[in-house]
Structures are given as structure tokens and as C-alpha cells.
Amino acid sequence: MKNFNVYGCDINMAQSPKLIHVNQIDKDSIEHAFDLNKRTEKIITFIYPSITEGRIGSFYKFPFNGIIKRIDAYCTNSSIVDTIFSVEKCSEKDFKKSFSPPSTQIPTSSSEVNEGKNIVTSNIIPIEFSISYWQNILDKNVIIPNSQNFQDNSYHIKNDIVNENDLFRINFISCTPEDKKLLNKMTYNLTIQIVIQTNDNY
């Protein structure tokens, strides 16, 4: 009977390869080998069967601290125009604030006199909605050149710090041909990946 050590587990194997007896399990070793939380690189993945210009309504919340290492983008069908997009980030606190009931309000036009008091008669906008909490993390946006299937690595990251529970979204700046008859020549089956190194090793 032979003894083996696999990821910290002492395994006793009988002559028959079908009989394996685990005598002892080192829980910490198993978790270190297989626990996703202990891998140093994690990837946020956005998948778009089709795209349109603007901020497509999908978010991803990243539950770790880390540093953004790179952004990958590739597609199976490339547009006849360059596909250009930015990556935007927002803290969880600010994200929730943008949906919370307004604590302060600002007028959008002048007031009028009514019974000796100045009162606002036009629309009131919550001050939270007058502020953009989403910030572009790039100072040079990602480009997939026309008729190409991969981004060209010309982008540059200006804000690479990720705090626990930060949210991410994609803003498509350009991707639509001016000639609407060529919409079948747009980018399809696009995958965008944000590679983040977590705090284990940086």
C-alpha cells in the first residue's frame, strides 16, 4: 500500500486503483489550493451579443480591493467603424446615493412672488442626480479597430485602484456606422474583461 500527499492530504492507496482512502485532510491546504478568494488575479467579464452607443444598463460589483492590471476586448464580428468604449467606476456608497431620496434640492429656474414669499414654481431636481458619480478610469479609451477582432492595446489606465464593492460599467462611445443600411456590419459577440490583481500580492 502506497502513501501519497496531494495538496496537503495524506492519501493511502490500496493495490487496486479503485480504492482510495483519505486518512487525513488538511483543510487549510485544500482551501489554499482551490479557494477562489486566494487567487491573485480576478476577472470582471462583460459579454454583449450586440452593442449600441451609450451606457448599456449592466453593472458589475467587485467584492475585493485590488489594482487593475489590464483590459481585454475581443469580438467574433467586427464593425466597419472603430469600436471605442470607456470603462467607468463608481463606489458602492455613491451608487446607492444616486438612488436615495433627495436630502437637498436645487431649483432649476427663478422663483416668483406669492403672498409676499419667494417660492419655486418650476421643476425641482434632487442634487444627487445633478452629480455624476461614475468616473472614467481611462485617459485613453479602448479601441477595437474596424475590421479587427481584438483591441489594439493603445488604451491607458489613469485610475487603477479598486476598492471593495466598487461598481463597473461600460460606455460605448463609437460603434455604429453612419449609414443605417450597414447596421449588419456592426460589432457582435463582444467580450470585455477587466483583469484585477487582488491584495494578496500587491
Cell of 70: 489590464
Whole-number percent of the chain with pLDDT over 70: 59
> Do 15 and 1 meet the contact criterion of CB atoms below 8 Å apart?
yes
The Cα angle at residue 154 between residues 148 and 159, in degrees rounded to 5: 130
Q: Is the pLDDT of residue 89 over 70?
A: yes
> Do 81 and 51 meet the contact criterion of CB atoms below 8 Å apart?
no
DSSP 3-state of 52: coil
pLDDT digit string (tens) for 12-38? Answer: 555 444 444 444 455 556 555 555 555
- The separation between CA 194 and the C-alpha centre of its own chain, rounded to angstroms, equals 6
> Do 139 and 156 meet the contact criterion of CB atoms below 8 Å apart?
yes
User: Given this model, what pLDDT does residue 166 score?
Assistant: 96
Domains of the chain: 1-34 (no CATH), 40-91+133-198 (2.60.120)
Of these ranges, 21-35, 49-63, 123-137, the one predicted with the greatest mean pLDDT is: 49-63
User: Given this model, what pLDDT does residue 97 score?
Assistant: 82
- Compute, in degrees rounded to 10, the torsion defined by CA atoms 161, 151, 155, 191: -30
Could you tell me the pLDDT band of residue 117, with boundaries at 50, 70 and 90?
very low
Of these ranges, 4-13, 115-124, 126-135, the one predicted with the greatest mean pLDDT is: 126-135
How far is the C-alpha of 187 from the C-alpha of 142, rounded, in Å? 14
pTM value is: 0.65
